[in-house]
Chains A and B, each alone.
Chain A
Amino acid sequence: MTAIPHRSSQGRIGRALVGHGQVLVVLGAIIALFIGVSFVNARFLSPANLTTIFSGNAYIAVAAIGMTMVIITGHIDVSVGALIGVLATVAGTLAVAGWPMWLVWLAPLVIGVAVNAAAGWLVAYAHIPSIVLTLGLLSILKGGLIVVTGGEWITDLPPGFFLAQRDVFGLPLPLVVMTVLTLAAAWWMAHFRFGRTIYAVGSNLEAARAIGISVERTTVGVFALHGLFAGISAVLFATQLTTIQSTVPPNLELVIITACVIGGVSILGGVGTVIGAALATIFFATITSAMIFTNVSAYWLRAVIGGLILITVLADVARRRGQA
C-alpha cells in the first residue's frame, strides 16, 4: 500500500479548527427549527421533548466523538454500529449473569478498546485501508452476534442496570454524559499534545512524520479511543430500555458518520470538531421530531430530511464562497 495521499492544503495545526463554519450553520439550523416549530406547537420546546431530542440520541453523539477522531486522521469506520450492538449485548448478558454492576458497565468499554485497538493495529501496521477492514469487521460482528446469541432478546435485566434512565443534577444522565464528553474531547483535542497530534496526522501525514510523530501509534491510539466511546455509547444504548434486542441497530453506523460529516468533519482528514458532530446529531433528532410536530406527510419524511441535509451542506458552500 502506498501512503495515504492528502489533498487538504491546511498544513498548520492552528488551521485545524476551520470546521467551525459548518458548526455555525448547523447550530443556526437547529435554532431556526426550534423557533419555527414552536410556533406550530409550543410543546416542541417542552422539557419532555427536549429530553427526547437531546437525551434519546445522546448515544449517537457519544459514538460520533470517536468517529470524528477517526475521520480526522483520514480513516473511517463502518463497523461501529455493529460494535455497539455487540457491546450492548455483552453488557446485558453480564448483567443477567449477576456480575457486579460496575463491571457490567465497564466491560463494554474495555472490550470496545480492545477490538478497535486491534482494528487500528491492522490499519496502521498491516496497511489494510480502514474502509476495507471495517467493512470486513462489520460483517464479522453482525453475523457473529446472531451466530452466538441466536437473536434471543435479553429481557430479565436487574433493576440496577438502567444507567441511562437515571438523573444527574436533575438532568437525564445521557444528556450529561454527552455534554461533558463532547466538551472534554473538544478541549483535549485543541490543547493537549495527543489531541493535536490527531489533527497533525490528519492534515499532513508527511509533515507529522517529519516532526517526529509516530503516525502508526497515533492511528492505534485513535482507534482505541474510538472503541472507548463506542463502549460508552453501548452502555447508554443498552440501559435506556427494559429489553436489549441483541441485534445490530439498523443503519446506526450511517447515522453516526452522517452526523460527523454534516457537523463539519472533512472526510479527507485534518478538519473538524467533535462539537460539530454532536450538534449534527441533535440537528437530525430535531428534524425527526419536528416532522412529527409539523404533520409533514410521513411518506415524504425521508425526502424532507434528505433535502434538509442537502441544504445544510450547500449552505456551508455558500457561506465559504461569501467569505472568499
Chain B
Amino acid sequence: MKPVFHMAVLAGLMSASSALAQSAWTGGDDLPTNPLPCDGSPAAPAALPYDGATPANAPDRAGQPITVVDVPKLVGIGYFNATSKGIAEAAAELGNMTVTTDGPTEANIDDQITILDNYITQGVDGILFAANDPVAIAPVLRKALEAGINVVGYDANAEPDARQWFVNQAEFNGVAKSLIDSLVAETGPEGKFAIVTSTFTTPNQARWIAEMSAYAAQCYPQLEWLETVEAQEDNILSFNQANTLLTKYGEDMNGIIGMTSVATPAAADAVTQSGNCGKVAVVGLATPNAMKPYLASGCVKSAVLWNPVDLGYAAAQVLRAAADGTLTPGDTSVQAGRLGELQVINGSEILLGSPFVFTQENAGEFDF
C-alpha cells in the first residue's frame, strides 16, 4: 500500500513539475500547446469528427420564431456590448429570432450559472454563452441540452459535450502569434518584455499566455520574458502595475503586452505619462476606440483583436442554423449571413477568422 501511495505522490509532483516546464511564463495554464509555424504558413486544420452535443428531443424549429438568451461573461463592458450588438444585428436581419442579453455584473461563475438556470426554467429555445469557466458552466449547459435547447458558445468555450457549436473568434495559437509578432516587430527578436493580465485564473488569458510562451520558445528563442503581473479588470491598478514595471526595469525592458482590453490602454497610458513612448513598446489585446488616442500619438503602433460585433453576429447566425437544422454534425462549413461561409475546425468549432491587427491607419474604420 505504502509504495503505491509514494508513487502517487511522485507522479503528482512530476506532473506538477512537467506542467511548470511546459508553460514557463507565469499566468499560463498547463494544457498542451500548439504553436504555429514561424513563417506564417497556415497550420493544416486537422479534420476531427464532430465532438459537440445534440439537444435531446428538440422540437422542429426550422423557420420558426425562436427566443434566445445571450449570457456573456459579464455585462457592462465595451467588449460584450459589441458582441451583443452583433447578435442583435443578426437577429434583426433574420427576423425570426428574439434575443435578450443578460449576464452577471462581474465575471463570476456562480452568478452566470444561476442566470442560465433561470432562463432554462423560463423555457427559451436557444442559449448563446461566453463561459467564465469551461468546466464549471458545463453541468448547467448539459441541463439545457437535455431540455431540448439549442446551445452555442462564443468568445470563451465550454467542454465540447456541453454545447453544440462554439464560434471561435481566432485560435489561441493565432492570437499568440499575432501578439508576439507585433511585439518583435517593435522590440526586435532580442526584446525584453513583461505581461499585464487580468487574473491568472481567467481561462482565455491563461491559454494565450501558454501559447505565447510556446511560440516564442520556437520562433524567437532570444526573446526574454521578464514577468507577468495581475491587475484584475481594474484600469488604475493596471496603470500602477505598468508604471511599477517601467521603473523596476528601466532600460532593461522594452515591451509590455496587455492581455485584456482594460490592461492594454492602461499600459499605454503609463508609457505615455512616464515619457517612455518610443522606448517601450505596448502591444496587446484592445478595442480600437480605447486605443485611438495612443495610435494617433504614435506611442502605440498596433493592437490585436477580432471584430467582436462580427463575433456576436456569427454566433447568432450559427445558433439559427443549428436550430433550423441547416448546420448538422459533420458539416465542414456554415453560411453566416454577411460574413459568408465560415469554416468548421477542431470538430465542432466555427472559426471567425484570423486575429486582426489594427494600426493608426485602419483603427478609424471601427467603432467599438
- Most chain A beta carbons < 10 A, residue from B230, B246, B247: B247
- Pick the contact of B200 from A149, A245, A298 — CB < 8 Å? A298
Whether the Cβ atoms of B78 and A153 lie closer than 8 Å is yes
Question: Does A59 touch B at the CB level, under 8 Å?
Answer: yes
Interface check A34, CB cutoff 8 A: no
Whether a CB of chain A sits under 8 angstroms from the CB of B81 is: yes
Q: Which segment, of B170-178, B232-240, B316-324, B349-357, faces chain A?
A: B232-240
Name the interface residues of A38-87: CB closer than 8 Å to any CB of B. 41, 43-44, 46, 48-49, 51-52, 56-57, 59
Tell me the bound Cα distance from A109 to B266 in angstroms: 25
> Are A242 and B236 in contact, with the CB atoms below 8 A?
no
Closest 4 A/B residue pairs (Cβ): A151-B76, A146-B76, A52-B243, A49-B247
CB distance from A152 to the nearest CB of B (A): 6
Interface string of B176-200 (1 = CB under 8 A from A): 0000000000000000000000001
- Whether A246 contacts B76 by the Cβ 8 Å rule is yes
Q: Please tell me if the beta carbons of A242 and B247 are within 8 angstroms of each other in the complex.
A: no
Task: Produce 1/0 per residue, B271-314, CB < 8 A to A.
Answer: 00110000000000000011011100000000000000000000
Q: Which residues of A contact B292 (CB under 8 A)?
A: 155
- In the bound assembly, the distance between CA atoms of A160 and B121 in angstroms comes to 51
The answer, yes or no, to whether A295 is at the interface (CB within 8 Å) is yes
The 0/1 profile, CB within 8 Å of B marked 1, for residues 145-173 of chain A is: 11001111101000000000100000000
B227 on interface, CB distance cutoff 8 Å: yes
A-B contact pairs, 5 of them (CB 8 A): A44-B247, A49-B243, A242-B294, A243-B265, A250-B232
**Given A51-B243, A151-B80, 6 extra CB contacts under 8 A:** A41-B248, A151-B81, A155-B292, A240-B239, A288-B240, A292-B229
Binding site for A on B (CB under 8 A): 26-27, 75-78, 80-81, 105-106, 200, 227-230, 232-236, 239-241, 243-248, 250, 262, 265-266, 269, 273-274, 289-290, 292-294
Distance to closest chain A CB from B329 (angstroms): 36
Cα A70 to Cα B241 with chains together (Å): 30
Shortest CB-to-CB span from B362 to chain A, Å, is 17
Taken together as a complex, chains A and B put the C-alpha atoms of A292 and B265 apart, in Å, by: 21
Contact of B244 among A52, A243, A247, A301 (CB under 8 A): A52
Q: Is the CB of A153 within 8 A of B227?
A: no
Complex contact A43–B262 (CB within 8 A): no
Interface: A289 (CB within 8 A): yes
Question: Which of chain B's residues has its CB closest to A285's CB?
Answer: B240
**Bound Cα distance A143, B106 (Å):** 11
- CB A247 to nearest CB in B, in angstroms, measures 5
Distance of A142 Cα from B247 Cα, bound (Å)? 34
Q: Least Cβ distance of B125 to chain A in Å?
A: 25
CB distance from A65 to the nearest CB of B (A): 18
Whether the pair A153, B289 counts as a contact (CB closer than 8 A) is yes
Taking the nearest CB of chain A, how far is it from the CB of B67, in angstroms? 21
